[in-house]
Structure 1
């Protein structure tokens, strides 16, 4: 290190007023010095830190609060300048360490790497481009890659950057915001796994807190528990809309499986012909890709004979590893003109958005009823049938903690009813007095 630093009194305006014009220093720690450059019309805060070999790096932070009150941004008090100096040096050190591991990463680079990975994975699984990948790319390009957030270094990301970005999403529907945030989370978490040295130690916490989903805004579906009559109307209307639009039973089968299993769309679309086991009246459901790798990749769900019969046309004479549920993929041949191009597996829930709205209207259900209501209804039905919560969670590829968190009201109400049903009367009228 260099020779001993001659320290000056910088903590108050009055102390700085007595200093001569020029630079004055105070040590914040052995390698970081906060400086004050006094001029004729006020002063500036500066910082320098030790690089080694008698070398320092120095930069100006902001104006001192000599003439105007400190505002934490343009004019800083001594305490604010001290924090700003330490933050600046901390970022510089992190950037130097990250640079050793490769070019500094931005949010944009992280997203593009993630989308490239998804494209490679989907091509390997499905042999071609998928609607899932296109939807994610479209959402991220429109709402993230076009924003200031995209140019932020991963190293410098703070919760407030996400908060500012999310304020720009106020016009989006809650479910659209949820999908977008989940896409962005996945991209940033993918970056962490591949570039650990190029992100801050608290990066995962920043992402978690900054992209925490506001449950009251996105959990409306959890209140959409369908009655048995409403569920039947949905199935009947699905068949009706399917026939009216000449969809060859594809829409009807998808809705039937969603209602019968309570599984996520992303799971159902990955089912293959051999997933149907008619002799055992069950479906082998692929587990979701959420969370860590899972040892068991499929799990059984019991179904009724009517579901088996509904699926029979798409299992007869087909290869066991072909996608179970397919639909016609359409292409545009002119303005407002579409024709069936080829059959392929479902890729994304958005592919049935228009038909689902028609189903809801035909069934006379409230506007805003979402397909996920079928999953919530399935979970609710099992809870109220006295099925153990652990079993309910397993049959819906979820954790006990998540079931208890999201369906607490239903569980509590049902326990209260069960307790009331088994309560024993202990005092009879002829015992009184």
Structure 2
């Protein structure tokens, strides 16, 4: 990657390429996140040292940290993982949680999106925050002083210049809702992940504008989200091998796409058949017992790979992101002649539906899927009723 301190774009991502680098005092830097760099200082006596560099916004000075010698950290992937962990520690410590503002929470959220390789989400949020939050009185409000009326006033202000035309006003309300969703996500991150504020009362009561568009029939939406077995098989057959394995993992685990993307080889315990699903924005990490089919898939994908490598990686070894799977998945949906509304999340819905139809207890399904029993009952209650009826019919009472 070309940077001011690595003008020739010398790669440090593989051992053979690092071997060809000329020894020098200045590290060879690679940007792994905005204002976050991983460097490699080539030694004159062989090998080299991994270094992380942190350049934060505002007045925070640049910081560097020696991660370790190449003899201790033998792969770029492991060095990248350690650098990101350090960046996360620094982001959590700055600014002081007692003085953190809404704008600080928004910046921390953008940084978190970049660390998770959710670049489009981070870019979109950064642009919105810069225009509608950071320079406003709302943005400068300290989280400790934030209240629902303050957040509501900011949200209402987004509609002060809305057009009178009904269609254009509906579009403006939808845009305002998206801005509120981004701000809520940032504040929830500050509350849940960073502990910068003691409660979410300052924004949770603020609700988005009501129904803006005519929705499809709920039954039709549910039908589109569930894929029958022949449809699943057609879809998998139309996907390239790397994305097909990613989608098989969704079907066999019922996990969220983002959770599967975050899995590392080291998250799987071959001795016990347990898979640790890492922290997600909605729930904490959890450990699940995998099925025999999932075990076979995991062990095939993990074979001969380092513990820090992505468990379900793209063909080039990189982590799956929404931007990476979106287009090839859509092409496969068209080729398989499926409903165009089908997205990867539908595979999670399909898996949970099959678990419920198989008679697995809602509490077990909820724990497996990383959600609540209440949500399972609300979303899949109609399937639960069918399953109970079928099971009761098996019992001979008279």
**TM-score range normalised by the length of the shorter chain:** 0.5 to 0.7
CA contact (8 A) 2:310 2:317 kept: no
Per-residue CA deviation, residues 150-176 of structure 1 (Å, 9 max, x unaligned), is 72514463436436648889669x9x9
Separation in 2 of the partners of 1:169 and 1:370?
29
- CA 313–117 in structure 1, closer or farther in 2 if over 3 Å, else same: closer
Per-residue CA deviation, residues 55-93 of structure 1 (Å, 9 max, x unaligned), is xxxxxxxxxxxxxxxxxxxxxxxxxxxxxxxxxxxxxxx
Please say if 1:375 is aligned against 2:348: yes
Please say if 1:289 is aligned against 2:289: no
User: Aligned match of 1:268 in 260, 267, 277?
Assistant: 260
Which runs of no fewer than 5 residues in structure 1 stay unpaired? 1-100, 123-129, 243-248, 329-341, 427-433
Q: Which residue of 1 aligns with 2:205?
A: 206
Separation in 2 of the partners of 1:378 and 1:324?
20
Aligned positions of 1:146-185 closer than 5 A: 146-147=131-132, 151-153=136-138, 154=141, 155=146, 157-159=150-152, 161-162=154-155, 165=158, 182-185=181-184
TM-score of the two chains, using structure 2 as the length reference: 0.57
CA contact (8 A) 2:151 2:203 kept: no
Aligned residues: 280
| Secondary structure in structure 2 of the residue aligned to 1:368 | coil
Aligned positions of 1:135-150 closer than 5 A: 135-147=120-132
- How far off its partner does 1:384 sit? 0.9
- How far off its partner does 1:291 sit? 4.8
Which runs of no fewer than 5 residues in structure 2 stay unpaired? 1-97, 163-167
Q: Which residue of 2 aligns with 1:355?
A: 328
Separation in 2 of the partners of 1:169 and 1:188?
27
Please say if 1:234 is aligned against 2:235: yes
Q: Which residue of 2 aligns with 1:225?
A: 226
Aligned positions of 1:292-303 closer than 5 A: 294=284, 297-303=285-291
Please say if 1:111 is aligned against 2:106: yes
| Secondary structure in structure 2 of the residue aligned to 1:188 | helix
Q: Which residue of 1 aligns with 2:383?
A: 410
| Secondary structure in structure 1 of the residue aligned to 2:287 | strand
CA contact (8 A) 1:288 1:397 kept: no
Q: Which residue of 2 aligns with 1:344?
A: 318
- How far off its partner does 1:411 sit? 2.0
Please say if 1:131 is aligned against 2:130: no
Separation in 2 of the partners of 1:271 and 1:194?
24
Q: Which residue of 1 aligns with 2:165?
A: none
- CA 364–286 in structure 1, closer or farther in 2 if over 3 Å, else same: same
Structure number with higher strand proportion: 1
Separation in 1 of the partners of 2:378 and 2:309?
37
- How far off its partner does 1:308 sit? 4.8
Aligned positions of 1:67-82 closer than 5 A: none
Separation in 2 of the partners of 1:382 and 1:215?
32
TM-score of the two chains, using structure 1 as the length reference: 0.53
Per-residue CA deviation, residues 1-42 of structure 1 (Å, 9 max, x unaligned), is xxxxxxxxxxxxxxxxxxxxxxxxxxxxxxxxxxxxxxxxxx
User: Aligned match of 1:321 in 303, 308, 316?
Assistant: 308
Separation in 1 of the partners of 2:374 and 2:266?
32
Aligned positions of 1:34-53 closer than 5 A: none
Q: Which residue of 2 aligns with 1:31?
A: none
- How far off its partner does 1:407 sit? 1.7
Q: CA RMSD in A?
A: 4.2
Return the index of the structure with the highest Cα Rg.
Answer: 1
Please say if 1:394 is aligned against 2:382: no
| Secondary structure in structure 2 of the residue aligned to 1:289 | coil
CA contact (8 A) 2:236 2:244 kept: yes
- How far off its partner does 1:139 sit? 2.2
